[in-house]
Structure 1
Amino acid sequence: MKYLKMSAFILLYMAVYFIISNYIGFVFGIFYMIKEIIVNPDVFLYGSPDAFMDTFVKNSVWFMAIAALVSFPIYAFILWLRKQNIFRVCGFSGISVKDMAITALMGISLNFVIEYLVAISSLNDLSPSVQQMFSQIFDGNSFVVILIAIGIVGPFIEEVIFRGLILNELRRNIPLTAAVIIQAVLFGAYHMNLTQGIYATLLGIILAQACIKMKSIWAPILIHMLFNSTSVVLAKLIDPYILMTYQYFILAGSVILLVFTSILAWRGKKSIVNIY
């Protein structure tokens, strides 16, 4: 019975953000079509549907950001109904300046390492449509908008869901190792494409370990934010030629930095069984 209850809550936590973001996208689509019918009826009736899809994809970062802002109080309400506090359950405890610096550097170096592994393994070829979608998003939005949505808001709500709610729901009912693996697999599957799913699963394990070892959800939040933000900065501000020219130096430096920060993060840290 307890496993059925655990599974039900995990599905609920995953469904809330997913449903809200899709609902916002649906509402946007309806209003966009109404506007096009009024303003450009001929274009709407006889034009290519690709134009609508391009607009929809470009604005998807807004759907994600708004959904995150709406979802958090809903999660808080769900836990309130369970007589729990979202800040205590998720582990919003203090984190030292030293640990903040370590996790930030870990997020940046981890991005370079994983991006390089994805590139040399041709993982991007497994989901070409996803790469096209990201190109549309990055080309159709400003640096600030993408940084806020993908670099800050998205990682925050994903960490609340997976390293906060789901990981701790699992930890209450099953062994810690199994909990870490299951939440990582769910995190990978949540991205709904093979390329991201593979490396997101690996990332999910690392983020869970950071959360457990540092006893604060701020650790994986910072790693995740810097991981995503690095991708945004590289895509929007850095000349690809520079990255290609110095790729081996960048990779070597990133590996060294990742190993160094991982040792600092893990040294002397003791995991805890549950946080509530």
Structure 2
Amino acid sequence: MNNKNVLSAALYIILFVSLFVLIQSLSLFAGSQFVSLLRSPQATNGVDMIKDGESLAMTAVVSSLITFVLFVATKWAPVSRNYLKTRPWGVFIWSGLLALGSILPMEFIVEKINLTMPEGTQAMFESIMKVSWGYIALGIMVPIAEEIVFRGAIQRVLQNALGERNRWIAIVIPALIFGVIHLNLAQGLHAFVIGLLLGWLYSRTNSILPGLVLHWVNNSVAYLMFNLMPQMNDGKLIDFFHGNNRMMYGGLFFSLCIFVPALFQLWKETDKGKK
């Protein structure tokens, strides 16, 4: 591990995070200004909410696209088809299953710690989730932008600077930053844990694609649950099981029966790919 390389990596990480936050902040500001222009005094709250959601979702799509183009064009996050040539379809499937198996346990942990999102953040996400553009934003474009920045750029630079011996440091630091930028404990804890899984997948494959599948499934399930089961949006995990504790713990056990084998299979598959 070379001190000069570590310093260079630290400076790059500061640059990457600063640009990511700047693009997100400017897009959020532009979106909020656009929303205020679209608001009509004669409109009902429902109409206003749809306008708000569409505007915020579209600005999220644009900011994610700008982030993607910037990081790929500058080669801060190199993109190639090399990993796809290995035909890693099994890795993709297990990555999706890993995401599915993590959803209920993570929700259970967040509830037990008694963490909730700030009301403003909750309202913003709800307005985005209610529109079709919301899925393009939160389900597709945001995962792409975040994986490009946090794994394709930040973790790649750290791995190169720290070497194989310190690979877990290169996994934990991007996951920690990923959690912190969410600016609230409820989302931050979930982002940190998911970030560890995403970072582990990247370190095993040197590709953002398996993590992108995991991220996409995680966000897609959240979007589907919000729209298919609106009664759950203000509820607890126990409400999903109609107040039945036995069913809830059975659901958690079933989730772990997906999560643990998926983790094991990914460890095997990615090890085979390395060899």
TM-score by length of 1: 0.78
Q: 1:167 to 1:136 in 2, by over 3 A?
A: closer
The answer to whether structure 1 residue 26 and structure 2 residue 14 are counterparts is: no
Q: What corresponds to 2:65 in structure 1?
A: 69
Q: Distance in 1 between matches of 2:156 and 2:77?
A: 13
| Equivalent residue for 2:227, pick from 214, 218, 236 | 236
Deviation at 1:144, TM superposition (A): 3.0
- Root-mean-square deviation (CA, aligned residues, Å) is 3.1
Read off the aligned partner of 1:234 and give its amino acid letter. Answer: M
Task: Tell me the equivalent position of 2:19.
Answer: 16
What displacement does 1:62 show? 2.5
| CA shift in 2, pair 1:183/1:33, >3 Å | closer
Residue pairs, 1:137-156, within 5 angstroms: 137-139=125-127, 141-142=129-130, 144-156=132-144
Q: Structure 1's 7 and 271: CA in aligned 2 closer, same or farther, altered over 3 A?
A: farther
Q: Equivalent residue for 2:102?
A: 110
Aligned AA (2:152):
G
CA distance in 2, matches of 1:34, 1:204: 36
Question: Which runs of no fewer than 5 residues in structure 1 stay unpaired?
Answer: 44-51
**Is residue 2:197 matched to residue 1:197?**
no
| Distance in structure 1 (CA, Å) of the matches to 2:31 and 2:147 | 26
Preserved contact between residue 61 and residue 137 of structure 1 (Cα < 8 Å)? no
Task: Determine if contact 1:138/1:236 at 8 Å carries over to the other structure.
Answer: no
Bigger Cα displacement from structure 2, 173-182 vs 3-12: 3-12
Check whether the contact 2:98–2:258 (CA below 8 A) recurs between aligned residues: yes
- Whether 1:166 and 2:154 are equivalent positions in the alignment is yes
Matched with 1:267 is 268
SS at match of 1:123: coil
163, 182, 190: which one aligns with 2:173: 182
Compared CA separation, residues 163 and 62, structure 1 to 2 (3 A): same
* Counterpart-to-counterpart distance in 2, 1:114 and 1:272: 29
Percent identity for Structure 1 against Structure 2: 20
Deviates more, 1:16-25 or 1:68-77: 16-25
| SS of equivalent to 2:271 | coil
Alignment match, 1:257: 258
In the alignment, is the contact (CA less than 8 A) between 1:54 and 1:136 conserved in 2?
no
SS for the counterpart of 1:192 is coil
How has the CA–CA distance of structure 1 residues 8 and 92 changed in structure 2, closer, same or farther, with 3 Å as cutoff?
farther
- Whether the 8 Å CA contact 1:17–1:67 is kept in 2: the answer is no
Preserved CA contact (<8 Å) 1:212 1:271: no
C-alpha change, 1:229 and 1:29, in structure 2 (3 Å) is closer
Q: Is residue 2:96 matched to residue 1:99? A: no
Are the equivalent residues in 1 in contact too, given 2:34–2:55 (CA < 8 A)? no
How many residues in Structure 1 have an aligned counterpart in Structure 2?
252
Q: Is the 8 A contact 2:90 2:269 kept in 1?
A: no
Residues 109 and 255 in structure 1, CA contact (< 8 A), matched pair in contact too: yes
CA distance in 2, matches of 1:28, 1:199: 26
1:122 partner letter: N
Inter-CA distance 15–271: structure 2 relative to 1 (3 Å threshold)? farther
User: How far is 1:194 from its partner?
Assistant: 1.7
CA distance in 1, matches of 2:36, 2:225: 34
Bigger mean CA offset, 95-104 vs 232-241 = 232-241
2:102/2:255 contact within 8 Å kept: yes
- CA distance 1:228–1:180, shift in 2 (3 Å): same
Q: 2:204 corresponds to which residue?
A: 213
Given that 1:92 and 1:217 are in contact with CA atoms closer than 8 Å, whether structure 2 keeps it comes out as no
Equivalent pair of 1:17/1:68 in contact (CA under 8 Å): no
